[in-house]
Structure 1
């Protein structure tokens, strides 16, 4: 019973770390990366559709990406969605077959803004993990009458160590992304 609660909590915390890492990958650095476009939703026949479901993305060079839509009628919608995306700063061009996106060089000021965004995303992920810890503690407290105080105390120690390891994983990913952003 306690093992199930702890396992479920650990799985949710691991998922929160994965989501945080995905969020970090959407913050752009000086290089073009298809992950920047993962969360862009394109209005495709009235339905918000992820860009990677409508087109293939490939790096042309370090600063540009070529987006080849599977349906040529989606070109304008893809171009507009990229243009409307905040914090990307990219200006897409459409030649009738593909959309070419050139990522501009980041200024020092923009780099610092992006570091703040990464820190905010990291804090959001830490809050999610702390909320999961609190919810799991409540579940463990509810089991106290069935399994005893000692077992619950042991489980809470294990929960704390799991929580710390997941928060450390978010911190490490955040520091790597910050270093990548500040690298010129």
Structure 2
């Protein structure tokens, strides 16, 4: 039994859990907390010469104030396409097209909308926790397989304990991210 194999299983599990946290961070930035943020239009694609292209690659996106995003296309003929793409993305904001640029005015969050956003953030957090637990399960199955191939019982038990500690660390990190997002939503 090669000890490097066990190390590889442990490193792989931690790396995969870190990816789950990174994914959660990206998803949480997409949840609008009432404050304008250019990442709110990330993931919205516009038809540009027949190709779906991110808005950020066809326009300048800037923040005018805490509740206003300005989208200034580099080509004027892209205004309608960008406006259509934003409406189809269903981000809960109606674009205002003045013929030169598109402005997105973020309405103040109502109590009902805030609860909806909390629920959405909680759902994202739960998905991350499920992913982390699945990674733990796979790592423990791999450790058991290594034990059948000659890994000592003590080494296997230590490895499983280490995987559990790593899992606990990343689950706590998910909770920390959710608490920070909730605090951000309450501040507005």
Instruction: State if a TM-score over 0.5 links the two structures.
Output: yes
CA RMSD of aligned residues (A): 1.5
Structure 1 position 161 matched with structure 2 position 162:
no
> Matches of 2:157 and 2:82 in 1, distance apart?
54
> Matches of 2:75 and 2:145 in 1, distance apart?
54
Structure 1 position 131 matched with structure 2 position 134:
yes
Indicate conservation of the 8 Å contact 1:26/1:39, yes or no: no
The total of aligned residue pairs comes to 183
Q: Which residue of 2 aligns with 1:108?
A: 111
Q: Which residue of 1 aligns with 2:55?
A: 51
Taking structure 2 as the reference length, the TM-score comes to: 0.90
Structure 1 position 6 matched with structure 2 position 5:
no
CA 1:70–1:8 in structure 2 vs 1: closer, same or farther (change >3 Å)?
A: farther
Please give the secondary structure, in 1, of the residue aligned with 2:32.
coil
Q: Which residue of 2 aligns with 1:152?
A: 156
Structure 1 position 140 matched with structure 2 position 143:
yes
Listed as ranges, the matches of 1:19-34 within 5 Å are 19-34=23-38
Taking structure 1 as the reference length, the TM-score comes to: 0.92
> What stretches of structure 1 of length at least 5 have no aligned partner?
none
Q: Which residue of 1 aligns with 2:100?
A: 97
Greater mean alpha carbon deviation, residues 53-62 or residues 122-131:
53-62
Q: Which residue of 2 aligns with 1:178?
A: 182
> Matches of 1:43 and 1:134 in 2, distance apart?
42
Structure 1 position 15 matched with structure 2 position 11:
no
> Matches of 1:120 and 1:78 in 2, distance apart?
29
